[in-house]
A and B are shown apart, each in its own frame.
Chain A
Amino acid sequence: MKKIIFTLLAFVISFATVSAQKGIDFNHIYAAGGKLQMFIDSAAKNVHYSMVHPNLPNTFFNYMPDVNNISIRINFRKNIKVSNFRYTILVDEKPVLVNQPINEKKLEDTHADGDEEVFSSTSLGTFPVKGKVITVLVYSLEKPQDIDKSVFYGKSVPKAEIKGFSKLFKIEKGFDYSWVKEPKERTNFTFSNNDLELTLIKDRSDIDYVYTTTIRSKQTDEIVFESTTWQYGGAVEEHHFLPFLNIDKNIFKKSGDYEIIIQPYSKWKISAKDREASTVRHTLSITLEEENYTKRELLLFGVATPFTLCLVLLLVTYLIKRKNKKKLVEQEKQTNIAKLQLNSIRSQLNPHFLFNALSGIQNLMNKNEIDNANKYLSKFARLTRNVLDDKELISLAQEKALLDDYLQMEQLRFGFNYEINAVENLDLDNIEIPSMLLQPFVENAVKHGTSQKAVDGQIIISFNKQANDLVLTVSDNGNGFDTNIKYNGLGLQLSDGRIALLNSIYKENRFILEKQSSSKGTYISLTLTDWL
């Protein structure tokens, strides 16, 4: 095998020598990194030599896509022990000479392209470089790790390939990744608070270091990210680490399109056309769940916008206030109207009752029942006073007393039985209800319910408690009425209106009226929700 290689090398060298002899002048001399110099035909163009990359101090890149042949020389200072040096030459990654000592016999003194100093110099050979990559490694046995590597790149730099993206995000315990493999021209990402960074994975090549990655905002045309350094150690392909880059989420200040550009090292002064030929572009469509803002935007949003907003808010508040005030006044007006209407309804004690009651008292006087006449007169006065007093609220105890007064007076006329019951845990003295609330229903019970039944008639009034609701009921054993027909009786008609009015005044509570009526009697319940 070695034999073949040596034979091949010998062939290459001899071929190169032949080419040199065919009129190639090798008149252009360039530093090729380390101790090397390269000689190129004076007609050659587009030569970039001895380029150093930021993170590879001992690697020198010579880019010459349009050059056919190069001759490589090595120069030693006079104080250097040449016998310690070894060199290796690879063509397209294949070693053609390995750990070769310098042929000291061939050393000659030169000024190495016009330098004052005199160097010991020899040729390492002449090589066809077009379409090839020639790599020369030079090191001293004293420092075998200090290898000077010169690459002679005789073709255009291939486009990098993006193998994939991964997104790092926080989870409840620790971190996790999500992957996008073999992306097409555009990749969409949404960043939330839990997302940390984006990783770009490039295909593996022997010249990863020449690739510079930049990310440009398509909106603002700003470069938001630039890196000349690739990391290894994450993704693996066929037992080789793939180069990758970590991109902090925070470089994406705003949602929108960003362009990833991977191109040969930006300091290379190659033509735009050549550069573009070696450049890969990929679009990232970024959506931020929470938008970031620049200082100017913040200033705009932070100062100008709040100021404007404040102004608008003030204006709106003022307008709303004015409207609310108007509304409030309107509401108050409505409530007042409701209250007035309520008052006028309340004031209508049935005149029929009034005068019949008076005639009942007259009857007692004529029968010389002085004490009874006094008793009923006082009751009559209390009822009338209550109507005239026009109080919005009375206590349950007062309501009970008034109903008692009223029923006693009616009892005098018709002779039915009645009960007024209140459950024990009701604080009758202190719980207030709108006055004359039950009066119309009781009046109705007397009039339509029991007046025909005389002594067999029965009216039961109860004050009950159900959770926080106050439930007032009136039941009788009279002949009933059809609850579906709007009853002409003044009392009930007024009551429906009153309950609607009460509901419009007491917005926190509901007044619920239920009527059940059959030929066996009538049951009315009035629930005051959340009243207690």
Chain B
Amino acid sequence: MKAILIDDEISNLENLRALLEKHCPQVNILATAQNVADAVNAIEKHLPDLIFLDIQMGEQTGFDVLNLLPKRNFEVIFVTAYDQYGIQAVKFAALDYLLKPVDIDELKTAVSKVDRKLAAQSQNSQLDFLLQQLKRPEAATSKIALPMQSEIRYIALSEIIRCEADNTYTFFFLANNERFLVSKSLKEYADLLKPNGFLRTHQSHLVNPKFVKSWLKEDGGILLLTSGEKIPISKPNKEMVKQALQQL
């Protein structure tokens, strides 16, 4: 697969190149770029399958590179050091990212995922979704990308009634009675959706407060949802859930 590495620091580029050459030989590095303009030129010139994109690049960001490209027919693996900016949006778009210093195992996993995606030749709509998300003010996310077996679904948060853990998988229950399984743990979605008001009522349950009808006192606390479902509240979460519902 053809790849371009984009990072403003030369040492990071060299580091990533060394790791890829050693551990991911299927990756053919066509070019590297250290600023937004060079990156855009290199992409337009080489039409890569994959770019490794640093998020924070001096005054600019990796997202600027994406915005400047009219066509984005490639996969992206974001690489970031310690940078909360944009990571949330990347997660909402269900895109891959690596943290520096790059862990070899994580790198291998990310590259093999791209391999599969390229084989499936699916349209990369996640980047469009990401760039749209980034135009919104912080935390005003209204949709989330959920990777299914063969597609990416973009679901409005207002449509999600609740999520339930099934080991490392998560069930999503939607307002239109749809229900599907996503191959990420509830913990990850909880971390992602908590800033949007979702409540982790229990180790296995994440609830959209908009669908909470009432708090039942039975069994030490249960939330009755407008869908008629009863969701348990575990003791460690009681105080938090109570406070959150009071503020609604």
Interface residues of A (CB under 8 A from B): 371, 374-375, 377-378, 381-382, 385, 388, 395, 397-398, 427, 429-432, 506-509, 528, 530-532
A289 to chain B, nearest CB (A): 33
Q: How far is the CB of B15 from chain A (nearest CB, A)?
A: 9
B104 contacts A430, C-beta separation under 8 Å = no
**Contact of B82 with A388 in the complex, beta carbons under 8 Å:** yes
Are B99 and A385 neighbours in the complex by a CB distance under 8 Å? Answer: yes
Which of the 9-residue segments B48-56, B148-156, B233-241 touches chain A?
Answer: B233-241
Write the nearest CB–CB distance from B204 to chain A, whole angstroms.
6
Are A378 and B103 also in contact (CB < 8 A) when A388-B82, A395-B185 are?
yes
Q: Which of B104, B167, B203, B204 interacts with A374 by CB under 8 Å?
A: B104
A432–B82 touching, CB < 8 Å: no
Q: Would B234 and A532 count as touching, CB distance under 8 A?
A: yes
Q: Besides A374-B103, A427-B203, A432-B200, 11 other CB < 8 A contacts?
A: A375-B104, A378-B103, A397-B185, A427-B165, A429-B186, A432-B203, A506-B236, A530-B234, A531-B236, A532-B203, A532-B234
Most chain A CB within 10 A, of B82, B185, B186, B187, is at: B187
Contact for A385 among B82, B167, B168, B186, CB less than 8 A: B82
Contact B168 A429 (CB under 8 A): yes
Given A371-B104, A429-B167, verify A530-B204 contact (CB < 8 Å): no
Q: Closest 6 CB pairs between A and B? A: A378-B103, A508-B235, A429-B185, A530-B235, A430-B165, A430-B203
Contacts A385-B82, A429-B165, A429-B185; is A507 near B104 (CB within 8 Å)? Answer: no
List of B residues within 8 angstroms of A371 by Cβ = 104
A-side interface mostly: mixed
Asked if A506 contacts B239 (CB within 8 A), the reply is: yes
Residues of B within 8 A of A375 (CB): 104
Contact with A along B80-101 (1 / 0, CB 8 A): 0010000000000000000111
Contacts of A377 in B (CB 8 A): 101
**Chain A residues within an 8 Å CB radius of B239:** 506-508
Residue with the highest number of chain A CB atoms closer than 10 Å, among B19, B101, B167, B236: B236
**Complex alpha-carbon distance, A530 and B239, angstroms:** 14
Which residues of B from 188 to 211 have beta carbons under 8 Å from A? 200, 203-204
How far, in whole Å, are A531 and B203 apart by their CA atoms in the complex?
9
Which B residues are CB-close (under 8 A) to A430? 165, 185-187, 203-204
Chain B CB within 10 Å, residue with most, of A374, A397, A431: A374
Judge whether B102 is part of the interface by a CB distance below 8 angstroms: yes
